């Protein structure tokens, strides 16, 4: 029962013209039937002037100023001509027009319109002798006090309803803007997360595939002369491929809505894996790890791990078996990552790259407001020096 009433009210609320038809048509029919029952029966002109008091209410939402003007003119004519002796509309019909004007028009329009209508109606009533003078102790319809009181209350109610409508519309607009902004933020978050995952995937694939490529070429070189050494190289290739698959599954697991734990994020506690994979390609890694790196914020550790991974990947691809010096130091609220390598081996065949790796390193450093230096050394090697401030960690 309650649900049915709510549905009916919602249906009517969505069709305001039904209210206008019920108000204008209902009042007109009621008044005409009442007048026709009087003796003597009013003339057609009298019925028309009386109907002019209510018929304009059909358009009270679309033309509120015109409706109030028409009803005021009808009231004045009825008071002057007096087509139905002893019958007066009083202020009752005008309150509907004043309410509609105050609700649908700004105060700068509704206040002057209401005052003009009030002045015209009171003047016409006083001159026709239908109404007495203003009396503060009486609200009888036959006094001008009733006009002032009823029309003032109608205007206040209409003005309050207008403020409520404007507030509701403003809240609806703000809600729509908020929903649109949330959708934009959600899409931006997805794009940002995909870019981060793409960088991580590039770092993993580039590092391990480069190591596999170097190991495969080394195994190819010694296959005829030392099959046992070649077999060791193939074993390292398999191990490197297994590690690459594990890390790729962990990263790709972030893209799928799965409940299982994708595994811990990389951190500086796992840099030995990078060193082992690098040394498996023939490089000689000498690492210096500061005593405070475990206290580095986790966000900085993840980026530092990826920067170190990319730097070692570039050593494997472009220099091959060579000496590598790695230094990680935490001081002055910042982490320093430094990787230096010697010149490329004479027999090394470089693995082609896309250049995305160094771009990713630069993006990671800039995300923390840090600084990056990357360039050749005088002896033909390469140096990467990155600084990641802790205050940029999010």
What pLDDT was estimated at residue 17? 57
- Domain assignment of residue 145, yes or no: no
Contact 232, 268 (CB under 8 A): no
DSSP 209: H
Pair 123, 210 in one domain: no
What pLDDT was estimated at residue 135? 60
> What sections of the chain are H helices per DSSP?
2-13, 16-36, 44-51, 64-81, 94-104, 107-127, 144-222, 227-253, 271-279, 298-318, 356-367
Pair 191, 106 in one domain: no
Contact 192, 134 (CB under 8 A): no
Residue that is last in its domain, among 131, 157, 172: 131
Closest to 269 (Cα-Cα) out of 298, 244, 247: 298
- Domain assignment of residue 154, yes or no: no
What pLDDT was estimated at residue 120? 87
What pLDDT was estimated at residue 257? 45
Pair 302, 232 in one domain: yes
Closest to 354 (Cα-Cα) out of 202, 241, 217: 202
- Domain assignment of residue 158, yes or no: no
- Domain assignment of residue 147, yes or no: no
Give the chain's domain count: 2
- Domain assignment of residue 85, yes or no: yes
Pair 108, 198 in one domain: no
What pLDDT was estimated at residue 324? 92
Pair 35, 94 in one domain: yes
- Domain assignment of residue 170, yes or no: no
What pLDDT was estimated at residue 117? 86
β-bridge mates for residue 284, sequence order: 323
Alpha-carbon distance of 101 to 114, in angstroms, equals 8
- Domain assignment of residue 274, yes or no: yes
Alpha-carbon distance of 31 to 170, in angstroms, equals 40
Pair 375, 283 in one domain: yes
Pair 384, 237 in one domain: yes
pLDDT tens for the chain, 394 residues long, are 455 555 545 444 455 556 666 565 556 666 666 666 556 666 666 666 776 777 677 777 778 888 888 888 888 887 777 666 655 666 677 888 888 888 888 888 889 988 998 888 888 877 776 665 666 555 565 667 778 888 889 899 989 988 998 888 888 888 888 887 777 777 776 667 666 666 666 666 666 666 666 666 666 666 666 666 666 666 676 666 666 666 666 666 655 544 444 456 677 888 888 888 888 778 899 998 888 787 888 888 888 888 888 888 888 888 888 899 999 998 888 899 999 998 887 777 766 665 667 777 888 888 888 899 988 888 888 899 999 898 755 4
Query: Residue 300: which domain range?
Result: 182-392
Question: The domain spanning residue 250 has which CATH number?
Answer: 3.30.565.10
What pLDDT was estimated at residue 230? 63
CA distances from 11 to 5, 16, 172, 294 (A): 10, 10, 20, 65
Pair 295, 208 in one domain: yes
| pTM for this predicted structure | 0.44
- Domain assignment of residue 159, yes or no: no
């Amino acid at each position: 029962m309650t649900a049915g009433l709510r549905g009916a009210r919602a249906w009517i609320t969505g069709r305001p013209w039904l209210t206008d038809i019920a108000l204008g048509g209902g009042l007109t029919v009621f008044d005409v039937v009442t007048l026709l029952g009087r003796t003597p029966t009013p003339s057609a002109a009298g019925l028309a002037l009386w109907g002019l008091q209510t018929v304009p209410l059909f358009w009270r939402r679309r033309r509120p100023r015109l409706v109030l003007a028409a009803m005021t003119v009808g009231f004045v004519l009825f008071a002057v001509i007096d087509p139905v002796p002893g019958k007066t509309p009083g202020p009752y019909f005008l309150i509907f027009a004043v309410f509609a004007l105050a609700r649908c028009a700004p105060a700068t329009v509704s206040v002057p319109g209401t005052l003009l209508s009030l002045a015209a109606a009171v003047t016409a009533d006083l001159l026709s002798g239908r109404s007495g003078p203003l009396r503060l102790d009486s609200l009888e319809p036959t006094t001008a006090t009733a006009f002032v009181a009823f029309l003032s209350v109608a205007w206040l109610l209409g003005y309050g309803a207008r403020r409520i409508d404007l507030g509701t519309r403003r809240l609806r607009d703000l809600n729509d803007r908020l929903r649109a902004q949330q959708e934009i933020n959600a899409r931006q978050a997805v794009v940002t997360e995909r870019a981060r995952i793409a960088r991580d995937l590039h770092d993993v694939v580039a590092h391990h595939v480069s190591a596999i490529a170097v190991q495969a070429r080394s195994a190819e070189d010694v296959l005829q002369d030392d099959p046992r050494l070649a077999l060791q190289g193939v074993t390292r290739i398999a191990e490197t491929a297994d590690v690459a698959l594990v890390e790729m599954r962990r990263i790709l697991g972030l893209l799928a809505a799965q409940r299982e734990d994708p595994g811990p994020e990389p951190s500086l506690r796992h840099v030995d894996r990078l060193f082992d994979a690098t040394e498996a390609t023939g490089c000689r890694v000498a690492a210096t790890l500061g005593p405070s790196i475990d206290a580095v914020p986790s966000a900085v550790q993840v980026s530092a791990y990826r920067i170190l991974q990319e730097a070692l990947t570039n050593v494997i691809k472009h220099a091959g078996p060579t000496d590598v010096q790695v230094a990680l130091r935490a001081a002055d609220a910042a982490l320093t990552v430094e990787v230096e390598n010697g010149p490329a081996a004479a027999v090394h065949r470089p693995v082609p790259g896309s250049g995305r790796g160094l771009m990713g390193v630069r993006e990671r450093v800039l995300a923390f407001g840090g600084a990056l230096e990357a360039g050749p050394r005088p002896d033909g090697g390469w140096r990467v020096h990155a600084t990641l401030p802790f205050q940029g960690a999010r």
